[in-house]
Structure 1
Amino acid sequence: MLLTPRPRTRRAKAAPSAPRTGRARAALLAAAVSVCLTAASAPPPAAPLGVGDRLYPHLGNPGYDVKSYDLAFAYPGSNSEPLTVVTTIEARTTSRLDHVNLDFAHGEVGSVEVNDAPADFTEVGEDLVVTPKEPLSKGSALRITVRHTSDPTSAASGESGWVRTADGLVLANQADAAHRVFPCNDHPSDKAMFTVRVSAPEGYRAVANGLPAGEEHATKSTAWTYRTEHPMATELLQVAIGRSTVLHRSGPHGLPVRDVVPVKDRGRLERWLGKTPGQIAWMEGKVGRYPFETYGLLVADARLGFELETQTLSLFERDLFTRPEFPEWYVDSVMVHELAHQWFGNSVSPRTWSDLWISEGHATWYEALYAEEMGGRSLDERMKLAYGASDGWRAAGGPPAAPEAPEAGRKTGIFRPNVYDGAALVLYALRQEIGRPAFERLQRAWVSLHRDGTAGTDDYKELASVIAGRDLNDFFHAWLYGQRTPPMPGHPDWKSVPVGQPGAAEK
């Protein structure tokens, strides 16, 4: 683009009617005007962008709102080879765009189309920067089609959203790994609808979020299609491929419940899987009707080190259900933790990653409450222990609503005790402060008011103040942002020991 003024300057010099000095002045003027116009209109160079998240500054992209993703995966029959993928994104621009940035890494890009026309692209950092033939005006429809690969081999280093199982693959995208699987706007503030198609060789089965929307059989392969009926954050996408079986049962109100388990473990897992409908009913009694079209457990034969609330199909390690040292009340409460996330974190997603305390705090709260009501484990005792460790957690990872940034290359680095039991402790303090009836109304109102959307800490503080009938800003500021844990309402004898002092809890 910067070379375009030169031919114009030469044409200006050749004007036959101008005197010699006039031709020189005209040439200089034309060159200056052309350079200025070109500089004003030239698009900025390709660069990684972000939506300004404090913890993940390069995640997400400004300038457009994604409406839907259509993902078509082709699994080659080995979890050590790249999948071929076609990702189609339907969006609407929210500003004029010369480039469209997508979050993407760990894949090879073959081609990109914008609104069905070939487009230039380059990779900068962990962004795929797409340049359409013409700039996109604000408010225009945008369709991007990317043909690429998705590489699961980096899963061993913890840098990929893919997790290799004994017989295939599952996804674990939280917090910043969905873009290592497919091009996307990888931030929970931009939720969208999903259609997922997966083809795999015979002997394998593929499942994804949402409900089945078709199955096509070929000579040596099968293709499955799934669609969500509610918007979803990219970090909650689930695509599971393996030698598995799908079990069906009914939940409350006829809710379809489907579980995906290794074929060999179907019998031994049934005693756990059969508990899900009752757990859903228990959660509905606390916060209202289940917010999605289906639910179930995906049990992976892999050492994950975590469980994950992927929307409508929570991911669990097989070992959670098969290791004898885990007591029944503990396994039950972990199941409820991921189930509670379907309301807190999935239906109502965090607006920024600093709002994670709302999601993990509530999931931990209902985990602990279920353990008390159904397993005889005292909530007060758990919260007293958490209070004792709270100052240490704050020192190590920041206060609940201002967690420290993760270390480079650690996608789960923000998942520290301060956003689990530390955040549940905030909820316990709030219940002590405003009383149980108001607290329970708040939880129901929160998931109802923000269903299928995103919300943050300020929204929670405002709603809590409205329901309590008084300003709670000082309360929340101390509990969510203080470096030291405030006194616990109703329990003046509880003590939290700072790190470095005798009796300090290990972090």
Structure 2
Amino acid sequence: MPHTPGARPPKPRRSLRRRAALTAAVAALLIGAAAPQPSPTARGIGDRLFPDLGNPGFDIAAYDISFVYHGNDKPLDAVTVIEAEAATDLDSFNLDFTHGTVGSVEVNGLQADFATAKEDLVVTPRVALPRGGRFTVTVRHTSDPRGSGDGGWVRTGDGLVMANQADAGHRVFPGSDHPSDKARFTFHVTAPKDLTVVANGLPTGRRARGAVTSWSYRTGHPMATELAQVSIGRSAVLTRTGPHGLPLRDVVPAADRQQLQKWTARTPGHLAWMEKKVGRYPFENYGVLIADASTGFELETQTLSLFERGLFTNAAFPAWYVDAVMVHELAHQWFGNSVSPRTWSDLWLNEGHATWYEALYAQEKSGKPLVDRMRLAYEQSDTWRADGGPPAAIKAPVPGKKISIFRPVVYDGSALVLYALRQKIGAPAFDRLERAWVAGHRDATATTADFVALASKVSGQDLKPFLHAWLYEAKTPPMPGHPTWKTAKKPE
């Protein structure tokens, strides 16, 4: 209650219960009794679509991950070493990790306490970490390829590959499983000597020891966890040179080498075409990884795009379509890999651009008119927005189906946004924008707001109202230059 001026406040009286509690507390301090520790809690960075992923309080600079492969029906033995920097004082911190058993955790060489909370590994170091300090975390764990239907390890006919998009990297190794926290990666993989191991980046060593061989790879650029790739199998590695001497290596099932070589040989031409559109390829090497697996998708894992074998062997897929899909995944190396989304709501910047260059390639190389594809997309756009949300504000994943954020609205629905933008500002300004975007944000992350701001700067127009309508509104705006285009009504 408020104090009354002029009145003397009553003298407080301490109850016997309160006095007894204080006495017990003092006694506990005197004898060194430990205070009860709070329960471990899962924490994330609060992404609108995946709020529990990512880890607040620190930034990861590098991963060094070792795997020992024992076969598809057994967990891999693994050690993940993380180099990080504390963004604030840390008494404890979280790593994203599930689908494996943790044996021990060390922080700066000292054993640390750890516990699990949902899909997090909560680590309490022996010595608190100061803000701005660099620290090393070593986690000894297993990585289980069994029951991996939610992504992560994918079992193939002769081994394993990774498919971590969007949120499955932490089903393979502990870390910060969000594209906003990119880091450099080193992989060491030990497997039976009759198998071949390939991973992101360039090889740094190979050593045979009796019945096994150990392989090492390192990335030359930072990478998001969703883009990590390790392939273990009976594979043939085909090498060649791309534009300006770029090292190329394609990984295919050894038994299909001859059959698939006509497709892998197309990669240098794809690279040359993309470089004419947006500038120099951003990484140290490139290639395609063709796996004997049925995933239902292809995936732009960094420097080594993952494809299903069936895409190339099923006669139902016309050649022009396969060619364009290969360009789609290649385009992601610029859009999504080198320039990564700051949040998952920025996904349209990845998939919209990859779809755009896929469609543009099909027009230029196979005579499939871009305008026809965009007109069909316009007709469906309102339905896609109703089902999945507008391109830059897609709906949250369906419970139990986290990959469901990859809806039509982020593919052709988002390419349609780019088409509208080109119609608005003209092809020359649009081409300058694309080059400026990938050059200005190379090896970094960027947002939708960054793209809108750059588009306005390059074009000399305030595009914020125009692009807000195309990116965030429930109904598709009128298409510049095509006043007769109409959206179809959603079936009842």
**TM-score normalised to structure 1 length:** 0.90
Give the whole-Å Cα distance in 1 for the aligned partners of 2:441 and 2:386: 32
Q: Which amino acid aligns with 2:44?
A: G
Partner of 1:79: 72
* Aligned mates of 1:27, 1:443 — CA distance in 2: 68
Q: How many angstroms apart in 1 are the aligned matches of 2:490 and 2:77?
A: 50
* Cα distance, 1:325 vs structure 2: 1.5
Q: Deviations over 1:171-221 (max 9, x none)?
A: 000000000000010000000000000000121011100000000110100
Q: What is the Cα deviation at residue 458 of structure 1?
A: 0.5
**From 45, 53, 57, the counterpart of 2:47:** 53
Does 2:433 align with 1:442?
A: yes
From 339, 342, 355, give the equivalent of 2:346.
Answer: 355
Residue 125 (structure 1) aligned with residue 91 (structure 2) = no
Cα distance 1:27–1:337, how it changes in 2: closer, same or farther (>3 A)?
closer
**1: CA distance, partners of 2:416 / 2:489:** 16
Is 2:41–2:122's contact at 8 Å kept on the other side of the alignment? yes
SS of residue matched to 1:154: coil
Cα deviation 1:446-481 (Å, max 9, x = unaligned): 000000000010000000010111211111110001
Which stretch shifts more, 405-414 or 332-341? 405-414
Per the TM alignment, residue 160 of structure 1 is displaced from its structure 2 partner at its CA by: 3.6
Aligned residues: 471
- Match of 2:399, SS state, is coil
Q: What residue number does 1:70 align with?
A: 64
The residue that corresponds to 2:452 in the other structure is: 461
Q: In the alignment, is the contact (CA less than 8 A) between 2:385 and 2:391 conserved in 1? A: yes
Q: State the AA in 1 paired with 2:60.
A: V
- Which AA in structure 2 matches 1:64? F
Q: Give 3-state SS (helix, strand or coil) of 1:130's partner.
A: strand
SS at match of 1:413: helix
1:412 aligns with 2:406: no
Which residue is 1:242 aligned to?
233
Does structure 1 residue 473 correspond to structure 2 residue 467? no
CA distance in 2, matches of 1:410, 1:195: 30
Shift of 1:29: 8.4
**Aligned partners of 2:453, 2:36: CA distance in 1, in Å?**
44
- 1:301 aligned to which of 282, 288, 292: 292
Match of 2:190 among 196, 199, 206: 199
The aligned residue for residue 13 of structure 2 is: none
Q: Distance in 1 between matches of 2:23 and 2:156?
A: 67
Contact kept? 1:343, 1:447, Cα under 8 Å: yes
Aligned partners of 1:154 and 1:160 also within 8 Å: no
Q: Determine whether 1:181 maps to 2:169.
A: no
State the partner residue of 1:375: 366
**TM-fit CA distance, 1:498:** 3.1
Distance verdict in 2 for CA 1:499–1:111, change over 3 Å: same
User: Does residue 274 of structure 1 match 2:271?
Assistant: no
Contact 1:177/1:411 (8 A) holds in 2: no
**CA distance, structure 2, for counterparts of residue 212 and residue 154 of structure 1:** 30
2: CA distance between counterparts of 1:240 and 1:112? 27
Q: 1:12-411 maps to which residues of 2 (within 5 A)?
A: 28=22, 31=25, 45-76=39-70, 78-155=71-148, 158-411=149-402
Query: 2:145 and 2:20 mapped to 1: Cα distance?
Result: 61
Moved more, 491-500 or 418-427: 491-500
**What is the SS of the residue equivalent to 2:400?**
coil
Taking every aligned residue pair, what percent have the same amino acid on both sides? 64
* Structure 2 contact 99–171 (Cα < 8 Å) conserved: yes
Structure 1 residues 286-310: Cα deviation after superposition (integer angstroms, max 9, x where no partner): 0000000000000001111100000
Distance 1:95 1:265, change over 3 A: same
SS class of match (1:55): coil
Q: Which runs of 5+ in 1 are unaligned?
A: 1-23, 502-507
State whether residues 174 and 411 of structure 1, in contact with CA within 8 Å, keep that contact through their aligned partners in structure 2: no
2:412 aligned residue: 421
**d(CA) in 2 for partners of 1:416, 1:322:** 26
Cα distance in 1 between the residues matched to 2:22 and 2:396: 53
Alpha-carbon shift at residue 500 of structure 1 (Å): 3.1
Q: TM-score scaled to structure 2, two decimals?
A: 0.93
Deviation at 1:79, TM superposition (A): 0.7
Contact 1:357–1:420 under 8 Å retained in 2: yes
AA aligned opposite 2:129: L
What SS does the aligned partner of 1:259 have? strand
Q: Aligned equivalents of 2:183 and 2:399: distance in 1?
A: 28
Aligned match for 1:493, one of 476, 481, 484: 484
Whole-angstrom distance in 2 between the partners of 1:175 and 1:246: 27
Query: Which residue type is aligned with residue 224 of structure 1?
Result: W
AA partner of residue 48 (structure 1): A
Change (3 A) 1:193 1:404: same
Partner Cα distance (1:273, 1:191) in 2: 29
Q: What value does the CA root-mean-square deviation take over the aligned residues?
A: 1.8
Q: Is the 8 A contact 1:360 1:423 kept in 2?
A: yes
Q: One-letter code of the match for 1:118?
A: Q
- TM-aligned CA deviation for residue 33 of structure 1: 12
Provide the rounded CA distance (Å) in 2 between the counterparts of 1:474 and 1:88.
46
Give 3-state SS (helix, strand or coil) of 1:467's partner.
Answer: helix
Distance in 1 (alpha carbons) for counterparts of 2:21 and 2:325: 76
Q: Indicate if the aligned counterparts of 1:251 and 1:280 stay in contact, CA closer than 8 A.
A: yes
